C-alpha cells in the first residue's frame, strides 16, 4: 500500500471542510469520506453544519478505522511502550519501533489524525461563532482530548499557531509547557461555555444527533472536562507542582465533579469493530505484552482472562511477548495470548479518575473526596465492576502476591528472573506505614492494569512515574540515542514536517531538553 502522505501545511487548503487529508486509495478515502455533500443552508438545519464535524472528530482521537491507521497511530507506539502488547511480527526486518528504530512512514499516522481534529475545531469555531457558543465550548473539550495525546507523544506541537502560516510557509510549534497552559485555558472556556448553556437551557440536548459518547448529555461532558483537567494536572505534578495543585483542585471543586461511575466513562460508541480486534484476531499482529503476564499472573488477577485469550501454543496458560526482542519469523510467537474481543473504544474510565484522585490525596490536594487508601481501593473496585470481575475483597486484602518472573519458552535469553531490578516487588494491599513512593507505585500499578487497553495513556504515566516497572528491550536499534534502561521517552518529529515545515520543526526542537530523538525527555518527564 502506497500512502499519499499530506503534511500539516496541506491541511489549510481544506479548511472549508473537516476532511483534513487524503490517504491510501483502498481504505483512507472511506475513513475520511465527506458524507455531507449538501449545501451550507441544508446543513444549517438542526445544527448539522456545526454538529456533523464532531462525528469524525471524536473518531479521530483514537482512529476508529481502518485498523491499519490505528495500528500506526498508537498500537506500534504507546500500546507496546506501555508494556500492554507486543506484535509477534518482525516488521521491517525486525528493525522497527519496537526496538527503537523509528519507522517514519508509520509515525506520520500518529501525527496526521490529530490535525484532522484541529481542522474540525477551526471550522466549527468559524461557523458557530457567537451564535452557537455551546458548540465552540464542546469542541474546546474534544480538541484537548485529542491533542494532549499527541503532545504526550512528540512534546512540542502545532497548537496555538494552527492556521497561522507565515509568508514562507512556516507554522511554528508551541513548547509543551505552553501547550499545556493552553489546554487548561481551553478546558476553562469549554467548562464555562457548557455550564452557562446548561444553566440557561436546562435539559436541552443540541448535541444529541452528533454525540457518540454521551448522547448529548452536556453535564457529562463537563464532568469529562474536569476529569481531563485532573489527568493533566497530575501529569505536570513533578515539573510544576504549584500549577498542578491549582488545576487539580479546580477540577475537584467544580460543581459537576469528575467521573465516578462507570456509566459516565469516556467511551466512543460507534458500533464499529474495535481496531484492536482486527489487529489481534484477523491479522494476528497483537499479543499480550510480557509485563502484563508477569503482573496479572503474579497478582492472580481475575482480569487476566477478561483481557486476554489463553495461548494456543501453551493451552491452559497465558503467554506474553517481551518488547524489543529478536524475532526470526511470525510463527515463533504468533500463538501466544491474543486479546479478548473488545467492545467500544474507551478513553477514560471511573477507575482511572479514582486513581487520579488517590494520587491527589497522596499529594495533599484538597477535594479528593477520601484518603489515598480509600480511593486506591475504590479505583480497584471500579475496575472490577467495569469488567464484571469477582473477588474484590480478597484481592484488596492480598498483602503477599507480587509480579512473577517472566519466562520466554521460545528463547530463554528474553526471560526476566527474580533478581532483576526490572521486576516489581509491589504487593496489592494498602499499607499506611509504607513510604510515599511505595504508595505511589501501588496506585500507578493498579491504574496501569485498569486503563488497559489504552496504551498511550499508560505509556505517559510510566514515563512520568517509572511505574509499573517494565522490562527493557533486549535489542536496541536506536544507535545509542535511546537508553535501554530508561526506555523510550518520545517520538521523533515526522519527516514530512522536516521537508515542508523546516523552520517550524526547528522551533519545536529548540523547546526540547535535548536532540530530536526518542531518548529526550518531554517537559513534564523529570526523571
- Least confident stretch, 21-30, 156-165, 213-222, 345-354: 21-30
With cut-offs at 50, 70 and 90, classify the pLDDT of residue 200. very high
377 grid coordinates = 481501593
pLDDT tens per residue, range 211-269 = 999 999 999 999 999 999 999 999 999 999 999 999 999 999 999 999 999 999 999 99
- Residue 527 is predicted with a pLDDT of 81
Query: Can you state the angle between helices 350-362 and 218-235, rounded to 10 degrees?
Result: 40
- Which triple of cell numbers denotes residue 244? 498542578
Strands 345-348 and 266-268: antiparallel
Q: How confident is the model at residue 6 (pLDDT cuts 50, 70, 90)?
A: very low
500 three-class SS: helix
Per DSSP, helices labelled H in 14-132 are 28-31, 40-44, 48-51, 53-61, 67-70, 80-81, 91-94, 104-128
Q: Cell numbers at residue 309, please?
A: 485469550
pLDDT(39) > 60: no
Cis peptide preceding 468, ω within 30 of 0 = yes
Domains of the chain in start order, with CATH, are 8-271+493-499 (1.25.40.390), 286-465 (1.25.40.390)
Calculate the average pLDDT of the chain: 92
Question: pLDDT (tens digit, 9 = 90+) per residue, 279-326?
Answer: 999 999 999 999 999 999 999 999 999 999 999 999 999 999 999 999
Question: Is residue 45 over pLDDT 80?
Answer: no
Residue ranges of E strands in 270-407:
287-288, 345-348
Q: Looking at residue 34, what is its pLDDT?
A: 47
pLDDT tier at 177, thresholds 50, 70, 90: very high
- CA distances 396 to 37, 132, 387, 392, Å, are 55, 48, 16, 6
**pLDDT for 442-479, tens place per residue?**
999 999 999 999 999 999 999 999 999 999 999 999 99
Q: Give the three-state DSSP class for 157.
A: strand
Checking DSSP bridges between strand 85-86 and strand 345-348, what pairing results, if any?
Answer: unpaired
Give pLDDT, residue 41. Answer: 55
* Nearest C-alpha neighbor of 283 from the set 137, 70, 500, 55: 70
Confidence of residue 386 (pLDDT cuts 50, 70, 90): very high
Amino acid at each position: 500500500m502506497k500512502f499519499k502522505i499530506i503534511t500539516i501545511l496541506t491541511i489549510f487548503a481544506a479548511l472549508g471542510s473537516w476532511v483534513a487529508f487524503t490517504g491510501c486509495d483502498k481504505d483512507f478515502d472511506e475513513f475520511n469520506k465527506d458524507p455531507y455533500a449538501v449545501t451550507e443552508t441544508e446543513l444549517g438545519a438542526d445544527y448539522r453544519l456545526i454538529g456533523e464535524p464532531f462525528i469524525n472528530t471524536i473518531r479521530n482521537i483514537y482512529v476508529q478505522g481502518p485498523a491499519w491507521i490505528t495500528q500506526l497511530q498508537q498500537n506500534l507506539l504507546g500500546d507496546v511502550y506501555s508494556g500492554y502488547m507486543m506484535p509477534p511480527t518482525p516488521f521491517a526486518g525486525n528493525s522497527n519501533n519496537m526496538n527503537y528504530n523509528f519507522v517514519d512512514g508509520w509515525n506520520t499516522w500518529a501525527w496526521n489524525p490529530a490535525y484532522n481534529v484541529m481542522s474540525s475545531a477551526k471550522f466549527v469555531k468559524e461557523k458557530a461563532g457567537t451564535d452557537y457558543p455551546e458548540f465552540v465550548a464542546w469542541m474546546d473539550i474534544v480538541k484537548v482530548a485529542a491533542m494532549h495525546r499527541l503532545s504526550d507523544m512528540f512534546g512540542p506541537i502545532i497548537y496555538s499557531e494552527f492556521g497561522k502560516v507565515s509568508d514562507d510557509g512556516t507554522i511554528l510549534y508551541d513548547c509543551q509547557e505552553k501547550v499545556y497552559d493552553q489546554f487548561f485555558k481551553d478546558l476553562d472556556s469549554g467548562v464555562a461555555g457548557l455550564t452557562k448553556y446548561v444553566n440557561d437551557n436546562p435539559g436541552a440536548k443540541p448535541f444529541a444527533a452528533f454525540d457518540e459518547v454521551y448522547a448529548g448529555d452536556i453535564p457529562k461532558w463537563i464532568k469529562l472536562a474536569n476529569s481531563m483537567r485532573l489527568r493533566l494536572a497530575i501529569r505536570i505534578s513533578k515539573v510544576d507542582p504549584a500549577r498542578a495543585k491549582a488545576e487539580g483542585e479546580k477540577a475537584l471543586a467544580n460543581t459537576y465533579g469528575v467521573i465516578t461511575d462507570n456509566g459516565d466513562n469516556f467511551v466512543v460508541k460507534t458500533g464499529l469493530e474495535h481496531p484492536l480486534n482486527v489487529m489481534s484476531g484477523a491479522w494476528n499482529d497483537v499479543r499480550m505484552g510480557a509485563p502484563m503476564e508477569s503482573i496479572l499472573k503474579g497478582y492472580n488477577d481475575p482480569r487476566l482472562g477478561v483481557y486476554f485469550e489463553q495461548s494456543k501454543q501453551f493451552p491452559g496458560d497465558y503467554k506474553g511477548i517481551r518488547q524489543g526482542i529478536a524475532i526470526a519469523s511470525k510463527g515463533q510467537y504468533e500463538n501466544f495470548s491474543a486479546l479478548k474481543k473488545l467492545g467500544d473504544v474507551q478513553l477514560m474510565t471511573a477507575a482511572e479518575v479514582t486513581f487520579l484522585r488517590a494520587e491527589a490525596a497522596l499529594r495533599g490536594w484538597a477535594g479528593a473526596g477520601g484518603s489515598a487508601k480509600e480511593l486506591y481501593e475504590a479505583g480497584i473496585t471500579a475496575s472490577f465492576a467495569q469488567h464484571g470481575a469477582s473477588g474484590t475483597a480478597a484481592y484488596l486484602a492480598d498483602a503477599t502476591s507480587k509480579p512473577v518472573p517472566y519466562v520466554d519458552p521460545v528463547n530463554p535469553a528474553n526471560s526476566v528472573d527474580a533478581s532483576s531490578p526490572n521486576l516489581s516487588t509491589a504487593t496489592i494491599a494498602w499499607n499506611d506505614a509504607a513510604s510515599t513512593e511505595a504508595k505511589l507505585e501501588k496506585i500507578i500499578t493498579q491504574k496501569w492494569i485498569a486503563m488497559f487497553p489504552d496504551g498511550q495513556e499508560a505509556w505517559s504515566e510510566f514515563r512520568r512515574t517509572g511505574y509499573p516497572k517494565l522490562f527493557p528491550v533486549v535489542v536496541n536499534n536506536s544507535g545509542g540515542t535511546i537508553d535501554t534502561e530508561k526506555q523510550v521517552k518520545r517520538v521523533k518529529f515526522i519527516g514530512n514536517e522536516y521537508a515542508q515545515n523546516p523552520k517550524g520543526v526547528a522551533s519545536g526542537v529548540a523547546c526540547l531538553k535535548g536532540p530530536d530523538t526518542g531518548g529526550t525527555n518531554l517537559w513534564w518527564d523529570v526523571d
